[in-house]
């Protein structure tokens, strides 16, 4: 049975669990290193990335997670979680896993459009666009050569990307009824598992 963990230090981890449960996927909240054992993948939720980065250090999760990411363990970061995954951050960010070859700019949409929603085409998920909720969202400012951009806003800004076993979204699929992105991550995690 595949179990997907959700980092539960701060942020909207419960919403992620609920979506996975709707998909009949076994889930586990992760707060300490031993809770990483036996997982097929881990979701880093939205929240406040600087707080989560600090809590990752104090809970001693940072080093085991860095090691797992380097070994090909599937990790998906949504919003703050994307910041935690990124190798490069703007000056306001606290580096955490530094696993995914992307540069991220925090709070990139400024005050007027702090939060907004947009229907974003994501060909990997099928024809129907994905209703994406952005909350004080970061953007993917630049990507390395092995990173595939999965979604862009109408102006071309990349807002979802994949680098093998790593997934990042600037928006929050856990806040909509659409389960396709979670299903996609579960498949990435299962495939990674069967090839490792």
Q: How far is Cα 70 from Cα 82, in angstroms, rounded to an integer? A: 16
- Write down the least CB distance from residue 168 to ligand GLN, Å: 12
Q: Which stretch binds ligand GLN (CB under 6 A): 13-21, 27-35, 67-75, 78-86?
A: 78-86
Q: How far is Cα 56 from Cα 98, in angstroms, rounded to an integer? A: 13
Long-range contact list for 66-69, CB < 8 A, 24+ apart? 66/97, 66/98, 66/99, 68/36, 68/42, 69/97, 69/99, 69/166
Q: Which of 79, 163, 165, 182 is catalytic?
A: 79
Nearer to ligand GLN, 31 or 136 (CB): 136
Q: Which of 16, 165, 172, 182 is catalytic?
A: 172
Using the Cα atoms of residue 158, residue 160, residue 164 and residue 165 in order, give the sign of their dihedral.
positive
Q: Can 79 be counted among the known catalytic residues?
A: yes
Strands across the sheet with 148-152, in order? 26-30, 3-7, 41-44, 74-78, 166-169, 158-163, 148-152
Q: Which stretch binds ligand GLN (CB under 6 A): 17-25, 65-73, 135-143, 173-181?
A: 135-143
The answer to the question of residue 79 lying near ligand GLN (CB under 6 A) is yes
Which of 9, 27, 44, 47 is the binder for ligand GLN (CB under 6 A)?
Answer: 47
Which of 46, 77, 158, 173 is the binder for ligand GLN (CB under 6 A)?
Answer: 46
The answer to the question of residue 16 lying near ligand GLN (CB under 6 A) is no
* Binding footprint of ligand GLN on the chain (CB under 6 A): 46-49, 79-80, 83, 106-107, 135-136, 138
């Amino acid at each position: 049975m595949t179990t997907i963990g959700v980092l539960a230090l701060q942020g909207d981890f419960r919403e992620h669990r609920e979506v996975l449960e709707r998909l009949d996927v076994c889930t586990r909240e992760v707060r300490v290193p031993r809770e990483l054992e036996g997982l097929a993948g881990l979701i880093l939720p939205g929240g406040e990335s600087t707080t989560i980065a600090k809590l990752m250090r104090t809970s001693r999760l940072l080093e085991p997670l860095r090691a797992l990411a380097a070994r090909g363990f599937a990790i998906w970061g949504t919003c703050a979680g994307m910041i935690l995954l990124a190798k490069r951050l703007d000056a306001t960010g606290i580096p955490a896993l530094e696993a995914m070859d992307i540069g991220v700019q925090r709070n990139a949409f400024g005050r007027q459009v702090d939060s907004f929603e947009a229907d974003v085409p994501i060909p990997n998920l099928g024809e129907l666009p994905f209703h994406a909720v952005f909350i004080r969202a970061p953007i993917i400012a630049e990507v390395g050569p092995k990173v595939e951009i999965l979604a862009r806003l109408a102006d071309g800004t990349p807002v979802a990307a994949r680098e093998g076993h790593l997934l990042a979204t600037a928006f929050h699929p856990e806040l909509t009824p659409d389960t396709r992105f979670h299903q996609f991550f579960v498949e990435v995690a299962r495939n990674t598992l069967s090839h490792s």
